[in-house]
Chains A and B, each alone.
Chain A
Amino acid sequence: MEYCMSEYLRMSGVYWGLTVMDLMGQLHRMNKDEILEFVKPCQHECGGISASIGHDPHLLYTLSAVQILTLYNSLHVIDVDKVVEYVKSLQQPDGSFAGDQWGEIDTRFSFCAVATLALLGRLDAVDIDKAVEFVLSCMNFDGGFGCRPGSESHAGQIYCCTGFLAITGQLHQVNADLLGWWLCERQLPSGGLNGRPEKLPDVCYSWWVLASLKIIGRLHWIDREKLEHFILACQDEETGGFADRPGDMVDPFHTLFGIAGLSLLGNEQIKPVNPVFCMPEEVPRRINVKLELLN
């Protein structure tokens, strides 16, 4: 039943599991063939990829699938040209991206679009200038970004937008000091990070906030020791997985972001993680993806 409940995001779930294993140098313990066999039939005629077989295609799962195949160096399993066509078809006249054929606009989808194309080496397929224009129109007075123009700043959206600007080479448009301040204000006395003022800390924000800070060159503005202490407290002694906060139920999502957060903080037991793609640094490097972060 739990499997049914979460099937709508299965492709992302597989990506979370594989990535955290690879970060710990344990990717070989996963069943590569089975996974490739799962991904292939999820590509639809339009080129887009769904979360699971029989589900509808969407940019979110298209990115997750491309990330999985990149980890396994197996992009040939799908029709890459069709993926590019699909992403291209979702760009709107104002530069924004819809998530799928039904038209919902969100800066998360701008990130998914360019991240997918960057991993495929096909950024030229869309109007980057217009895409940038739209993302910048979502910048708020506090330096942060929301899901659409006028929406509240949110750490998850900020991660997507700074990642987007890193990929499109436009980080100079960010007010790094202002945004950096907003981001490091997310740290609470417990050491953990939240996503917005007055919210509870959550280990996944250790990723969204930390990665954003790394991208804009302000990682040192966080108290690293206290954050590390918080993340480790979220690990469950029995299962080894991580929960959103100490004592709660563990899941693969929070486990990945806990480990990735620790990697950004310099933990030497974990491979260095790329802050834009949330994959081991060696992976985007292997395929020559160009990224320039702020200092």
Chain B
Amino acid sequence: MAESEEEISVLIERVVKDITNAFKKNPDIDEIGLIPCPEARCNRSPIVLVENKLGIESWCIKFLLPYVHNKLLQYKLRKKWLEQDVLTDVTRTLLLLNPDFATAWNVRKELVLSGTIEPIQDLYLAKLALTKFPKSPETWIHRRWVLQKLTQEASLPCLVNKGSTGVELSEKLQQIVQEEMKVCTEAAGRYPSNYNAWSHRIWVLQHIAKCNVKVLLDELSSTENWVSMHISDHSGFHYRQFLLKSLLAARSLPNNALTTLSLLHSEQICSLPKGEKDFQERQKTDMSHLCVKELALCTDLIETYTGHEALWCHR
């Protein structure tokens, strides 16, 4: 079926529009995929939206990809200007097909900086790309840039002193962190020992959650189940090592040094409770308690699933 260049470009523009409309129609799309389909079925769009899943029929990729790819490059080479909304649609289409195309993510960074795209839109797009490409390094890199932008806003409160339970993250930050943990868990489940997902997870704890003790403890308990079900996943176990090490580092500091190090804007310094000595003693035993628990978990898993190198490395 010979098609003229003009026919093809009309077709592609329609496909890009179909994708844009799919997102407008359903803002809850949570997964993308390719539908093996060698031939077009007369006049039906290759974009298929079923519940929250967006599918693209495979026959159109060989037309779609080179077309939007070249369209973006023409813009970059200043041969053809594109309006911001067109750029948004073109880069979205491109990145859903080829999320390692870093230059396309960079165009979106400019659109975020100019206010055309909300940071949260790109967190969403990246999350979608990861459903099909869970390792994609450029997607994780873009995510980190967006997160940095989001949390850099001066008005965003970081830490809240909750007195007896210590210092906690503000609610907004907690939400952001929890969402990242979720995205990482899903990506880790889609590809064994997903280095990029787990190193992103660590980055979030270091740079967004600032190694907050409560977050570290929560992560330790919430990943226990996961590693027990993914015992060959060396990255998962390394993550727990990171949590334990960070807890150790956080807790070997005396109480007021810990508070000073955290990014509280207020000038109050937590006054030491009368029972400070007891508190520090408790912290030490808490730590060894955690290590004992970890060893017990390890022993249990080794006995249940013999011969897994990752478990012995973790020990």
Contacts and interface: CB of A to CB of B under 8 A. Distances in A.
A55 B76 contact: yes
A154 interface: yes
B170 interface: no
Contacts of A266: none
A58 B102 CA distance: 10
Contact of A104 (B61, B100, B101, B141): B141
A151 interface: yes
Given A1-B61, A104-B144, A197 B73 contact: no
Contacts of A50: 103
A146 B202 CA distance: 12
A290 B174 CA distance: 50
A7 interface: yes
Contacts of A102: 106, 109, 141, 145
Contacts of B141: 99, 102, 104
Contact of B69 (A4, A147, A198): A4
B77 A53 contact: yes
Nearest to A142: B313
B76 A4 contact: no
Nearest to A108: B137
A72 interface: no
B102 A198 contact: no
Interface residues of A, number: 28
Interface string A1-45: 100110111000000000000000000000000000000000000
A1 B73 contact: no
Contact of A4 (B66, B193, B203, B309): B66
Interface string B304-315: 000011100100
B101 A8 contact: yes
Interface string B57-73: 00001100110010001
Given A56-B106, A146-B199, A150-B202, A196 B193 contact: yes
Contacts of A148: 199, 202-203
Contacts of A5: 65, 98
A152 B235 contact: yes
Contact of B199 (A56, A58, A151, A197): A151
Given A102-B109, A104-B141, A1 B66 contact: yes
B242 interface: yes
A55 B309 CA distance: 42
A152 B232 CA distance: 15
Contacts of A240: none
Contact of A199 (B102, B106, B193, B198): B193
A152 B106 contact: no
Contacts of A151: 199, 202
B24 to A, nearest CB: 27
A103 interface: yes
Nearest to B67: A4
Contacts of A147: 199
Contacts of B199: 146-148, 151-152
B206 interface: yes
Interface in A142-179: 142, 146-148, 150-152, 154
Nearest to B145: A102
Nearest to A153: B238
Interface of B: 61-62, 65-66, 69, 73, 76-77, 98, 100-103, 106, 109, 141, 144-145, 148, 192-193, 195, 198-199, 202-203, 206, 232-235, 238, 242, 245-246, 308-310, 313
What 8 pairs across the A-B complex have the smallest Cβ distances? A54-B73, A152-B238, A54-B76, A198-B232, A55-B103, A197-B309, A4-B69, A1-B62
